[in-house]
A and B are shown apart, each in its own frame.
Chain A
């Protein structure tokens, strides 16, 4: 079952990994050439751009043009075998038996106690072949979960390069690039297309709440794919972007990030940091009527015994000062939670935030909530107590995200 075990030669080769403290992705030569700000951060061991030229304009490339974002550092697992569907149905929360080949769904997975290990996207490439993408690494968990199933689990993070092409002109660019038939992809569809003597998997997915696609190719075809898209997108405003811009777009879309908006169970040291799906807005994924899945007993018990202690909510905060990491109060005095992400949303024209609150606040008590924002003004904090309102997520809804056929901008 442990087919991930490397041969001795490969192991020896991998032993010098520590000499490269930040790996480059297969797109690194192109990204380095565009990295005018040299503003890097560490994404799962990779050197990834926080911004490339201008954070603000990079964000607007997502919303007004097309943005190209390197998602290669995302952890990718290839799960294959006759039991792959049953296996993933047991490992992850959502009902995998209802995920058809050629479709993608957003899901999450939990430990025995029902605490979330990670969230991610599951691509069904064929009846018996899947790709699971996530923020954190999970190979030992996935392999131990494979006991009793006829499947193989292989990490393919390095072998497969990934790009997100997001924004109103993204469809037109793919069409211009010659990916015939891409217009047939509805939201969460995927299909394979020919590229440079190999295949590229294109899915109509993304992390921006906008019209967009994600493309996966073998690492050695990465640069030619980049060039193909850049050439096709030249007149459609294609721009490479860094994470800061994407992070804004995802917040507007109301999407959460593991270890930013909640602490993954395997990372949490403090017991009260663990979160069940219902506590981070993922309760919709739970299907008590499907077959057994990891954490089922604990999750259902927490529901029946009312043991859920937190809730993740969207907030709209008065004013225009982002409330990042602000404390949330009830009646301006009682501490009830923390903002994990916040921004002034240019699209929603609202001051928005994601926050984790201690129930019943944010659950049954949603009035009289306040956030205390510490605004640093020339080496002095200006403390602002601002009213916060619990609002629906996503904060913006763009018809073009789901329109079929996709609009031609």
Chain B
């Protein structure tokens, strides 16, 4: 019997990590689930791939800092090979010509490389940031509030948030509300004085979005980052052994254990709609597959505009979907190096961590400025990892892999990425050379993925890893569009489960898990 003879309970489109999480969760609830992946292998933007002979790297996401504990628990990922131990946490190093500053443990439990007064100021600010991010945290693992038709359970969930707010105490609650939509630059100015620390935080707040530190609401990005946790530690980060592909392998194992049928190289051409209801899909190969429900864990705009088609939904909805802003502003650099680089003043532990080039908030803001007008940053900011130091299997003996997320690289580069890419690579290498003198000479292969490349390779429109800007107007009940934020769509039986839905991107699995929970709650 071939799979097309079967009637599936659910077809999941897209084998990125959210699709896998959704499929696994649905299968665990007893549903018969088929997952269709367009590419040769699952994992989407969470893969470990070879980019030069003998050199492997996590090709888009390279740090694990927000895999949701509910995902780990629900799918028993630890049983399926995911291991995170306290010793795996890596520090963040703010590189600077004045010498590095290091945030140890979970997002700077200990801060070194700066004055005692700054350390003390950071201790207070860190505690405050984590308290405030903690208020937002419960939102990550449930449907966004729907004030129009809220269920009792949802109401209770919102009540928890209200309680968390109340627990802050009156002064703190007022301050929380005061700073919520602030820009990160001004907040940092209020409380810190070390430019390196401020630069690092400004970078983290704006990483992956089209915002500069001085853009209104940029602080939300930092809260989003700190609402994530690893091993129960808020703000912590690890470089998974084997790269991000190893994380996906664990999720995949859980999905297969739960009985999900996974079919790679099966791109979906069309969602079949009958009388306002999604009843199956047609693959690009022409095969028709029927299912009780269809769960799309790919981009929301691609789902609605390409797979469903504007004809099957209402004009207002099409309008909203077309207006989702999703032009990526971050590039990904992979270098194959003959030997490990030496970043000035950084110790061995630091080299295994996250190295950030963002020497001051002004530097980050200046890097952002040209991107508003379609130009890349002449002095880009970036976060660098050297994954082969912790996992030598990723590079040939003695050689080294460098992986960096580089900003700002506007998707719609005015001069076009054909001409712009080599010039941007040169600008990046100049920055690297400043902090790791001699690194340029050791490069045996360089791969730079611009947002245009990421779009083409990973089917992420705009090359945006959140599948839609993660800013205040595209969060919570406005994600992916207002009125349809709870993983449902105007089509009965069609659900969205990807990063384009609440709570957004990063390797969290939360959208996939939340969507599956929604479907199970609806008995869909």
Contact = CB atoms under 8 A, between A and B. Distances in A.
Given A144-B319, A147-B322, A148-B305, A297 B314 contact: yes
B168 interface: no
Contacts of A145: 315, 318
Contact of B490 (A111, A112, A141): A112
B310 interface: yes
B51 interface: no
Given A296-B276, A297-B276, A144 B311 contact: no
Chain A: interface size category: 20 to 34
A288 B310 CA distance: 18
A147 B310 contact: yes
Contacts of A112: 314-317, 483, 490
A289 B1 CA distance: 35
A228 interface: no
Q: By CB atoms of chain B within 10 A, which of A113, A149, A296 has the most?
A: A296
A309 interface: no
A112 B490 CA distance: 9
Contacts of B309: 148
A148 to B, nearest CB: 4
Interface in A96-136: 111-113
A339 to B, nearest CB: 32
Interface string A133-153: 000000001001101110000
B315 A148 contact: no
Interface string B306-344: 000111111111110010000000000000000000000
B305 A295 contact: no
A193 B139 CA distance: 66
A147 B273 CA distance: 18
Given A148-B305, A297-B276, A297-B490, A111 B322 contact: no
Contacts of A141: 315
A91 interface: yes
Nearest to A149: B311
Contacts of B318: 144-145, 147-148
Contact of B310 (A148, A295, A297): A148
A350 interface: no
A292 interface: yes
Interface in A77-108: 86, 90-91
B322 A295 contact: no
A23 to B, nearest CB: 29
A113 B483 CA distance: 11
Interface string B274-304: 0110000000000000000000000000000
Interface residues of B, number: 18
A91 B322 CA distance: 18
Contacts of A288: 275
Given A112-B490, A144-B319, A148-B305, A294 B314 contact: yes
A292 B312 contact: yes
A296 B318 CA distance: 15
A295 B314 contact: yes
Contacts of A91: 315
A90 B311 contact: yes
Contacts of A144: 315, 318-319
Interface in A256-305: 288, 291-292, 294-297, 300
Given A147-B322, A297-B276, A111 B310 contact: no
A263 to B, nearest CB: 18
Q: By CB atoms of chain A within 10 A, which of B311, B312, B315 has the most?
A: B315
Nearest to A91: B315
Nearest to B320: A112
A272 to B, nearest CB: 15
Nearest to B315: A145
A162 B316 CA distance: 31
Interface in B17-41: none
A292 B310 CA distance: 10
Contacts of A296: 276, 314
A209 B162 CA distance: 61
A294 B305 contact: no
Contact of A148 (B276, B311, B316): B311
A291 B314 CA distance: 12
Contacts of B316: 111-113, 294
Contacts of B490: 112, 297
A294 B312 contact: no
Contacts of B483: 112
B55 to A, nearest CB: 43
A296 B316 CA distance: 13
Interface in A289-337: 291-292, 294-297, 300
Contacts of B314: 111-112, 294-297
A90 B309 CA distance: 12
A145 B319 CA distance: 8
A297 B489 CA distance: 11
Interface in B200-241: none
B495 to A, nearest CB: 15
Contacts of B322: 147
A295 B314 CA distance: 7
Interface string B246-268: 00000000000000000000000
B322 to A, nearest CB: 7
B315 A292 contact: no
B502 to A, nearest CB: 20
Q: By CB atoms of chain A within 10 A, which of B309, B318, B322 has the most?
A: B318
A276 to B, nearest CB: 14
A300 B316 CA distance: 17
A319 B338 CA distance: 101
A349 B483 CA distance: 50
Contacts of B305: 147-148
A295 B316 CA distance: 10
Interface in B473-498: 483, 490
A291 B275 CA distance: 7
A148 B273 CA distance: 16
B482 to A, nearest CB: 11
A190 to B, nearest CB: 27
Interface in B452-491: 483, 490
A369 to B, nearest CB: 33
A292 B276 contact: yes
Nearest to B483: A112
Q: By CB atoms of chain B within 10 A, which of A112, A141, A144 has the most?
A: A112
Nearest to B276: A297
A288 B312 CA distance: 13
B149 to A, nearest CB: 11
Contacts of B276: 292, 296-297, 300
Contacts of A113: 316
A148 B319 CA distance: 12
B315 A86 contact: no
A257 B401 CA distance: 71
A149 B313 CA distance: 13
Contacts of A86: 311
Given A148-B305, A297-B490, A292 B313 contact: yes
Interface of B: 273, 275-276, 305, 309-319, 322, 483, 490
Given A147-B310, A292-B313, A300-B276, 16 more contacts: A91-B315, A112-B314, A112-B315, A112-B316, A145-B315, A147-B322, A148-B310, A149-B310, A149-B311, A291-B311, A292-B276, A294-B315, A294-B316, A296-B314, A297-B314, A297-B490
6 contacts: A91-B315, A112-B483, A145-B315, A147-B322, A148-B311, A292-B313
A-B pairs, 10 with minimum CB distance: A148-B310, A112-B316, A112-B314, A145-B315, A294-B314, A147-B310, A144-B319, A292-B312, A294-B315, A144-B315
Interface of A: 86, 90-91, 111-113, 141, 144-145, 147-149, 288, 291-292, 294-297, 300
